[in-house]
Amino acid sequence: MVATRQTREERKARTRADLLVAGRQVFLERGFHRATLDEIAEAAGYTKGAVYSNFADKDALFVAVLDAHYASRIEAYRGIMLEGETIEQTLRAVSRFMAEADAREPRWLPLLSEFTAHAARHEPLRDSYKRVREGFLEAVADVIADLGERQGVTYRVTPLEIARASSILVRGFSAERQVDPDIISPALFEELNTAFMLGLTNLEGSTT
Amino acid sequence: MVATRQTREERKARTRADLLVAGRQVFLERGFHRATLDEIAEAAGYTKGAVYSNFADKDALFVAVLDAHYASRIEAYRGIMLEGETIEQTLRAVSRFMAEADAREPRWLPLLSEFTAHAARHEPLRDSYKRVREGFLEAVADVIADLGERQGVTYRVTPLEIARASSILVRGFSAERQVDPDIISPALFEELNTAFMLGLTNLEGSTT
DNA sequence: TGTACATCAGTGAACGCGCGTTCACTGATGTAC
DNA sequence: TGTACATCAGTGAACGCGCGTTCACTGATGTAC
């Protein structure tokens, strides 16, 4: 397992990938503001300079982490959609996936919230954040539209709005849970999600 | 209009009140992190030391601002509840009030989100924030419970959970809007709110 | 296959600065007699 | 009503420090011939 000779390009791509993994991890552990580039670089096995050689600054590193996160989410959603047989089954599977992802990485949503607040206040960053985020929501909307077609279901609002509405709920839950993770009862979670899904889809089959 | 002689106690209370007003304003303008105690003190007509003479630190000042904000909200909600004749009317009036408050001070919710993220990461602050916030939600729950009794309506979940659910929606909307205020269509807003309210109350009158 | 020079990813140390916090001080209010 | 001392809200200046960012450098890869 001796380090093979690599071209510059390969090495740099490797470094970038290492920094993304380490960045994600340290951001999750410490939060955006408290994570230091020193710690991230060290966790990846480099020094701070490597970060600046691969990303414009700390903000850009985070946006890249976010981009990678969303890419993997989209892939997961696509997979779930292909597996589900009925719309109800698929929606339930998506809900389950989201709940599991949150349980697996409970700090992700608070981290996103912290970064959103930061990005909203810093003009150029705000734009690049918006681009990545809207790209994600549009990709989710595509999945939702595909699902509708496959299952012959119509929606009361556009797929993009459904994606956004889902995000609204998720982020709202997260905001509320930040103070105390146990504060949202499972009953409340279920009621809200159900109300939300019934409200936005014509599940009864009426296509008016 | 010569400054009247005041006791120390009166003067101090006045200073504190001035700082709260100025703090609220500067926090709204700049956000929590970017607001400086210098600017707040100056806006209030004092120097930084006055802040430290009235509050433990920057965090405590914000919590005090928050506390005052919630107190005035509760008062408003109580007023609305007393005026409404039917439950539908009252719920609509509350929705309108919340929308108007958000339009009047669009930076309040982002500010709260920024501070929540901050507080979540700082142990002792987190507790005092939680105390203030839970106190608010409980007061809202009281209003909701009173409303139910007055109008003879039952809820599918506890009043406290309704208060929390409402807060979840509000904060979710706000999180989503931070990137771009125009991104949530009125239609989506209405659909979600309706789904939410129908989901949590037994409006048809069934008390089962 | 070898030599000489160019490139550039990553290093390591230094910089800089914004601002929250501290602290000795002051002058007006409060208290005792 | 007056005097002497105590208190303490608010002042103003200095401190401190964490960390993002910069930059001259190096040594391995790339390129030309």
pLDDT exceeds cutoff 90 at B123: no
d(CA A142, CA A61): 27
Interface subset of B 73-92, CB within 8 angstroms of A: none
More confident residue, B75 or B89: B75
Q: What is the pLDDT of residue B189?
A: 81
Please tell me if residue A177 touches chain B, with a CB cutoff of 8 Å.
no
Whose CA is closest to A153, among A80, A206, A83?
A: A206
Query: Could you report the per-residue pLDDT of B95-115, keeping only the tens digit for each?
Result: 889 989 999 999 999 999 999
Nearest-CA distance A122 → chain B (Å): 11
What chain A residue is nearest to B137 in terms of C-alpha separation? A176
Q: Is the CB of B41 under 7 A from strand C?
A: no
pLDDT > 90? residue A116? yes
Whole-model pTM: value is 0.91
- Residue A83, exposed/middle/buried by CB under 10 A (0-12, 13-18, 19+)? exposed
- Percent of chain B past pLDDT 70, that is, above it, reads 94
Provide, in whole angstroms, the distance separating residue B203's CA from nucleotide D13's C1'.
Answer: 64
Written as one letter, the residue type at B82 is L
Q: Do B179 and A121 touch (CB under 8 A)?
A: no
Beta-carbon separation of A199 and B195 below 8 A: yes
Q: By the CB < 8 Å criterion, does A101 face chain B? A: no
Residues of A in contact with B114 (CB under 8 A): 117-118, 121
Q: What is the pLDDT of residues A127-143, one digit of tens each?
A: 999 999 999 999 999 99
Q: Is the pLDDT of residue A51 over 50?
A: yes
What are the backbone dihedrals phi and psi of residue B94, each rounded to the nearest 5 degrees, phi first?
-65, -45
Which of the four pLDDT bands, split at 50, 70 and 90, describes residue A15?
A: very high
Q: Which of residues 36-95 of A touch strand C (CB under 7 A)?
A: 41, 46-50, 52-54
Yes or no, beta carbons of A199 and B199 under 8 Å apart: yes
Measured between beta carbons, the chain A residues lying within 8 angstroms of B187 are: 157, 161
Say how many C-beta atoms besides its own lie within 10 A of residue A172's C-beta: 25
Average pLDDT for chain A: 90
| pLDDT number for residue B42 | 96
Interface of B with A in 147-176 (CB under 8 A): 156-157, 161, 164-165, 167-173, 175-176
- Find chain B residues with C-beta within 8 A of A199's C-beta: 191-192, 194-196, 198-199
